Copies of this chain bind each other. A is one copy, B any other.
C-alpha cells in the first residue's frame, strides 16, 4: 500500500533555454553556487554534451557537420537526449537533486523546428520519444536580442561554430520560436530578459527559482 512516503526524494528538473549569447552557462553556474550555499543538492548538465556518447556527437553537430542535413541533425540531438536522460538526468532526479540542464527539448523545437523549418509535429514527437516521460518542471528562458547575443557568443568563444554561422534570419526564427513556446506554456516558462548588469539578470533567475522551489 502506498502511504505517501517514499525512499526517494523527488528531484526537480529546471531547464535553461534561449538564443546564442543569452548567458545560460554563466547563469547556471551562479545559480548552482547559490542553491548549493542554501543546502540543495545540485546537478548541472547540458545538451548536447553531458553523456558518454556526447563528445563525438558534439563534434559532428558543432564542427564537422557542414554537409549535415536538418533531419539527420534532429535525430542526432534526440540520440544525445535519449542517452542523457537515461544516463544522467533520471538518476540525478531519483537522488533528489535539483537538475539544471543547459538546453533541452525546447531548444530542439526552436532550432530544428522554427530555425531549420522541420515539421513541428515531427520534432515534438521525437522529443517525446527521446525524453521518455522526463519533463522540465520549470524552464528559464533567457532572452536576448539576436545581434547582441551573437556578438556576446563570439566574444566568449574563440571562433564561431556551425550554428552561429547559420545567419541572422535563422537566429531570428529561433528566438521567435522560444518566445512562442514561452507564450504557449506560461506556467512552466519564466521569461528573463538579459539585463545590462549580469547580477540583475541573476537576481531575477534566483527569485523565479526560489519561488518555484518553495512551492514544489
Question: 0/1 per residue, A44-74, Cβ < 8 Å to B?
Answer: 0000000111001101100011011101111
Beta-carbon contact of B79 and A67 below 8 Å: no
Docked CA distance A51–B86 (Å): 28
- Given A60-B56, A60-B57, residue A79 in contact with residue B72 (CB < 8 A): yes
Considering the complex, give the chain B residue whose CB is closest to the CB of A65: B53
Judge whether A34 is part of the interface by a CB distance below 8 angstroms. Answer: no
Residues of B within 8 A of A59 (CB): 56
- Given A53-B60, A53-B65, A67-B52, residue A72 in contact with residue B76 (CB < 8 A): no
Beta-carbon contact of B122 and A71 below 8 Å: no
Q: From B65, B68, B86, give the contact of A71 (CB < 8 A).
A: B86
Beta-carbon contact of B86 and A69 below 8 Å: yes
Interface size class of A (residues with CB under 8 A): 20 to 34
Docked CA distance A68–B64 (Å): 22
Considering the complex, give the chain B residue whose CB is closest to the CB of A83: B72
Question: 0/1 per residue, A101-132, Cβ < 8 Å to B?
Answer: 00000000000000000000010011001101
Considering the complex, give the chain B residue whose CB is closest to the CB of A69: B86
- Given A53-B60, A59-B56, residue A78 in contact with residue B80 (CB < 8 A): no
Docked CA distance A115–B155 (Å): 48
Judge whether A75 is part of the interface by a CB distance below 8 angstroms. Answer: yes
- Given A67-B87, A68-B53, A83-B68, residue A75 in contact with residue B130 (CB < 8 A): yes
Could you show 20 A-B contacts with beta carbons less than 8 Å apart? A52-B68, A53-B64, A53-B65, A53-B68, A53-B72, A56-B56, A56-B59, A57-B60, A67-B87, A68-B83, A69-B82, A71-B82, A72-B79, A72-B83, A73-B79, A74-B79, A75-B79, A122-B129, A125-B125, A126-B126
